[in-house]
Chain A
Amino acid sequence: MLQKNEKKAVTLRTMLAIMVLLLLVILLENISSWIPGMPAIFAPTSQLFTVLKKGAVYSLVAVSMNLLNGFTGLFSLGQAGFMLLGAYTYAILTVPMAAKDQVYYLYGGSAVKFSLVDLFQSLFGSAGFGGAVSMICAVLVGIVCAGLVAALFAALIGTPVLRLKSDYLAIATLGFAEILRAIFQWQTLGPITNGANMLKSFPTFADFNIKNAAGQVVLRLSTFVPFLLSIFCIGVIVLLIHSSYGRAFKAIRDDEVAAEAMGISLFKHKMLSFVISSFFSGVGGALFAMYVSNAQAKAFTSTMTYEILLIVVIGGIGSISGSVIGTFLYVACSEWWLRFLDAETYIGSFKVPLLRSGFRMVVFSIVIMIIVLFFSQGIMGEKELTWAGIGGLLKKLKPKKKAASAGKEG
């Protein structure tokens, strides 16, 4: 059994690693403005930061999906739907009053006659430090509301849907997500959802960059913020999984009949897992909207759910650290490392065959097929990245192991 002290040391080390990681992110973001002449990769517009931001957002969604699919054994495909709810809730609540007429120009303004941004600005002021406080408050309240709306919808559809098993549950949740996508593009709801047009002008990650009076960026925080939020949420999920509720979830996954015989109420715990997972998907949706600077129903397709499912499978179903590692690998490959496959390339006058727009997806599919066929356990299987594990690996290989952003406590 783990000793109390040892557990404390592990927690302390994990906290420390998270702090170091966050500081590293800040350093990485700002190094190009602090030290001139850094390579182009450190420029704020480089693909590195796209990957980091998207990775942070997607890891949260992947972990929330893993909570449901990997730890509770409920095969749900509604992730994109709950993200959509989160993204729209966040956007609708935080578009500033001043921007509403322009955003909702087709519908002659918005039916939502308030904005969290203006609400907090009237409390704390809109300039300088007060402005920063009101922005942070608006964003945080917006994100929490995004999660709550997603959780509410999960609770509503949970009663009928969670009585279904395996594939049927997947079909029902997938259908739910598709219906939501259609409803949010419905013209009649235009004054609220802006119909098929995108919602924009709400606070995004870039708004967290600290600017001086002249409007120049002094300190970049646009990558740090998604990391911080994502790590916090994943941390909450990790704590949940290590609690007695987490044990009950795993028991249901392993054997429903035995779990019920132990006095675990199946429906109550499935509902709990479903609602919590949806809450964090909603939060992930809000973060996604902040990342792409707009909210648009047609972005939240079933393809997005499959993408996240793929990440969970690649990382290892039932492993939090696997999901995080899987996310960053997947996002880095799709957004950055495999981009060269899409560009027509000439070596001298020789045109490299096959390389053209779309070829990346072909290679990607093949890589995924190989993973699913030969590494069906994924990267981590059901194991977690632990300090002991990292120590052993360091001894064996002495590689530079970049700590995954969270959830490495064993």
Chain B
Amino acid sequence: MRNILEIRDLQVHYGGIEAVKGISLDVPEGEIVTLIGANGAGKSSTLRAIAGLVTPSAGSLSCQGEDITGKDSNLIVSRGITLVPEGRRIFPDMTVLENLKIGAYLRKDDLTDDLNWVFDLFPRLKERSWQAGGTLSGGEQQMLAVGRALMSRPKVIMMDEPSLGLAPIIVRGIFDIIKQINKQGVTVLLIEQNANMALKTADRGYVMETGRITLTGSGTELLSNEAVKAAYLGT
């Protein structure tokens, strides 16, 4: 399968601190790829570098063969790569509908179909479309964050810990949605602490430790790997 996203020897520095120490990974088109690892392993920095929020100090990023290393976030969004940021980060003082429209900010065409698509995925958002984003519950805010990202009609959606701070039943719902989005043709790059859920959902997994990728494999392979079990699954 063709790789929609290719990362080669990516390094990210914050001042003198090296957060990502040269990683390479591939995201094949139409798959769910997950990146698991402990806090501070460099997962979020990797996503932020892809999204153009931080400039990588070395290495290259390419999307469908086009080099996107160090490009501005608006260019990256317009190339079809959208980030659902960690901690949801919806716009609290704007209505649900406004939040969704902001997701499509770079698009100039008609949004009706996409709004209906998002409202089909998350009927709850339709009910609350006139409510301020900040008044939603945590789970609803996560739905809104995902819906907002989908409004840019992405080819790749990157999610930074979508299960953070949510009840297990809500987390299951979110993962169902991720699978559903993926079936509709969107490639997913997922960061998770909830390794069990993530590896069960993903086609392929990468394990990151202190800025490096230490293990690669299909989701099921990693689930049965002893080292992964010991470190992340608690069994």
Q: Which of B83, B97, B129 contacts A261 (CB 8 A)?
A: B83
Chain B residue nearest to A248 in the complex (CB): B105
Q: Which of A251, A254, A258, A382 contacts B85 (CB 8 A)?
A: A258
* Residues of chain B contacted by A259 (CB below 8 angstroms): 91, 102
Chain A residue nearest to B103 in the complex (CB): A262
* Residues of chain A contacted by B74 (CB below 8 angstroms): 263-265
B106 part of interface (Cβ distance < 8 Å) = yes
A373 part of interface (Cβ distance < 8 Å) = no
B148 part of interface (Cβ distance < 8 Å) = yes
In residues 70-97 of chain B, which contact A (Cβ within 8 Å)? Answer: 72-74, 76-78, 82-83, 85, 89-94, 97
**Contact A258 to B90, CB < 8 A, known contacts A247-B105, A248-B105, A263-B74:** yes
Q: Mark A250-282, 1 if CB is under 8 A from B, else 0.
A: 110111011111111100000000000000000
**B105 and A263 form a contact (CB under 8 A):** yes
| 29 A-B pairs whose Cβ atoms sit less than 8 Å apart in the complex | A247-B94, A247-B101, A247-B102, A248-B105, A250-B93, A250-B94, A251-B91, A251-B94, A251-B105, A254-B91, A254-B94, A255-B89, A255-B90, A255-B91, A257-B89, A258-B90, A260-B53, A260-B73, A261-B51, A261-B53, A261-B73, A261-B83, A261-B89, A262-B152, A263-B82, A263-B106, A265-B73, A265-B74, A382-B93
**B78 and A263 form a contact (CB under 8 A):** yes
Chain B residue nearest to A256 in the complex (CB): B89
Chain A residue nearest to B51 in the complex (CB): A261
Chain A residue nearest to B77 in the complex (CB): A263
* Residues of chain B contacted by A260 (CB below 8 angstroms): 53, 73
**A265 and B89 form a contact (CB under 8 A):** no
Q: Determine the distance from Cα of A157 to Cα of B42 in the docked complex, in whole angstroms.
A: 37
CB distance from A257 to the nearest CB of B (A): 6
A1 part of interface (Cβ distance < 8 Å) = yes
**A254 and B92 form a contact (CB under 8 A):** yes
**B93 and A247 form a contact (CB under 8 A):** no
CB distance from B145 to the nearest CB of A (A): 8
Q: Determine the distance from Cα of A265 to Cα of B8 in the docked complex, in whole angstroms.
A: 26
A interface residues (Cβ-Cβ under 8 A, vs B) = 1, 244, 247-248, 250-251, 253-255, 257-265, 318, 382
B98 part of interface (Cβ distance < 8 Å) = yes
Q: Which of A244, A258, A264 contacts B89 (CB 8 A)?
A: A258
CB distance from B174 to the nearest CB of A (A): 18
B-side interface residues, number (CB < 8 Å): 27
Chain A residue nearest to B72 in the complex (CB): A265
**Contact A247 to B78, CB < 8 A, known contacts A263-B105, A264-B105:** no
In residues 113-170 of chain B, which contact A (Cβ within 8 Å)? Answer: 129, 148, 152
Chain B residue nearest to A260 in the complex (CB): B73
Q: Determine the distance from Cα of A264 to Cα of B72 in the docked complex, in whole angstroms.
A: 10
CB distance from A124 to the nearest CB of B (A): 43
Can you name 7 extra interface pairs (CB under 8 A) apart from A1-B129, A250-B94?
Answer: A250-B91, A254-B92, A255-B91, A255-B92, A261-B77, A262-B103, A263-B77
**Contact A248 to B73, CB < 8 A, known contacts A1-B129, A255-B91, A261-B85:** no
* Residues of chain B contacted by A254 (CB below 8 angstroms): 91-94
* Residues of chain A contacted by B97 (CB below 8 angstroms): 1
Q: Mark B38-57, 1 if CB is under 8 A from A, else 0.
A: 00000000000001010000
Chain B residue nearest to A2 in the complex (CB): B130
Chain A residue nearest to B97 in the complex (CB): A1
Sorted nearest first, the 5 A-B pairs with minimum C-beta distance are A263-B77, A254-B91, A258-B89, A263-B74, A263-B106
* Residues of chain B contacted by A255 (CB below 8 angstroms): 89-92
Chain B residue nearest to A382 in the complex (CB): B93
**A318 and B148 form a contact (CB under 8 A):** no
* Residues of chain B contacted by A253 (CB below 8 angstroms): 93
Q: Which of B72, B93, B98 contacts A318 (CB 8 A)?
A: B93
Q: Determine the distance from Cα of A170 to Cα of B196 in the docked complex, in whole angstroms.
A: 48
**A262 and B102 form a contact (CB under 8 A):** yes
* Residues of chain A contacted by B85 (CB below 8 angstroms): 257-258, 261
Q: Determine the distance from Cα of A263 to Cα of B105 in the docked complex, in whole angstroms.
A: 7
* Residues of chain A contacted by B90 (CB below 8 angstroms): 255, 258
Q: Determine the distance from Cα of A261 to Cα of B54 in the docked complex, in whole angstroms.
A: 11
* Residues of chain B contacted by A250 (CB below 8 angstroms): 91, 93-94, 98
CB distance from B17 to the nearest CB of A (A): 19
Q: Determine the distance from Cα of A204 to Cα of B77 in the docked complex, in whole angstroms.
A: 51
Q: Determine the distance from Cα of A234 to Cα of B129 in the docked complex, in whole angstroms.
A: 28
**A257 and B102 form a contact (CB under 8 A):** no
Q: Determine the distance from Cα of A198 to Cα of B89 in the docked complex, in whole angstroms.
A: 51
